Amino acid sequence: MKRIISYNLNGIRSAAGKGLADWLSAANPDIVCFQETKAQPDQIPVELFEALGYHHYWFSAVKKGYSGVGILSKTKPDHVDFGMNIQKYDDEGRTIMAHFGNITVMCVYHPSGTTGDVRQGFKMTWLEDFLRYVNELRKTRPNLIICGDFNICHKPIDIHDPVRNATSSGFLPEEREWLTRFFDSGFIDTFRVFNQEPRNYTWWSFRAGARSRNLGWRIDYQVVTPPIEKQLLRAAILPDAKHSDHCPTLLEVDF
């Protein structure tokens, strides 16, 4: 059994200063997918993760203090792929992928469109390119686990105020329609396999006490292809971990 944790840190140095390593030691995952590290490789406190017995791999954005992803693993992967070989996305440090036998774990940080029309357009183009990329990838790597911050709530159950947020980036009709197409193309939202309840969120605004009032959004997912569905043991959201404005997601898989 493998425990996989996915976590948007909103800055790995900030999260490390809030006790991230102690939390990881207690949670003891086999594989960790980090998003939004906001650090260059030489700025990442790798000694914290090495002390816990992890191999670690990082893919940073060209722009300093921005985006970036990383994978930790207790077992050394057979191979690691950095990026998608699409420069405009790889310059932003959006994906990293580790292969373990016939299983592939991808860590992804989807763009946000909250800063305006230009970035919203970039996000929508990215989404189409990403869908093509992962569906092509599945031809050679059919056992795929995708972990990360998708920056989209899928359904009204996934957001605290679906009516007032209907025109907000992250809950726009075209984004939600893309996520439906993504799932319909053969990807499984593992959390919803185990939990159909409302008020389960993974991100809260820093404003207005949103987290203490649980006014959140579920935008972080662990997604698998159908061959892995029968191996799923558990999926959960871990809101008690408070190193970021996101919280971690957990997936337990029998592989």
pTM, full prediction = 0.98
User: Could you say which of 42, 81, 117, 149 is catalytic?
Assistant: 149
Measured over the CA atoms of residue 13, residue 50, residue 239 and residue 194, the dihedral's sign is positive
Could you tell me which residues come within 8 angstroms of residue 207 by beta carbon, excluding any fewer than 6 positions away? Answer: none
The neighbour count for residue 75, using CB atoms within 10 Å, is 13
Instruction: Give pLDDT, residue 208.
Output: 86
Does the 2-253 domain belong in CATH 3.40.50.720? no
Cα 247 to Cα 249: distance, rounded to the nearest angstrom: 7
Distance between CA 246 and CA 218 in Å, rounded?
9
Print pLDDT tens along the chain (255 aa): 999 999 999 999 999 999 999 999 999 999 999 999 999 999 999 999 999 999 999 999 999 999 999 999 999 999 999 999 999 999 999 999 999 999 999 999 999 999 999 999 999 999 999 999 999 999 999 999 999 999 999 999 999 999 999 999 999 999 999 999 999 999 999 999 999 999 999 999 999 899 999 999 999 999 999 999 999 999 999 999 999 999 999 999 998
Q: At what angle do helices 173-184 and 117-140 cross, to 10 degrees?
A: 0
Query: What per-residue confidence (pLDDT) applies to 147?
Result: 98
- In the annotation, is 189 catalytic? no
Q: Which of 82, 78, 229, 73 shows the shortest CA–CA distance to 143?
A: 229
Please give the pLDDT value at position 255. 87
Biggest CA pair distance of the chain: 47
What CA–CA distances, in Å, run from 155 to 134, 171, 199, 238? 22, 8, 12, 20
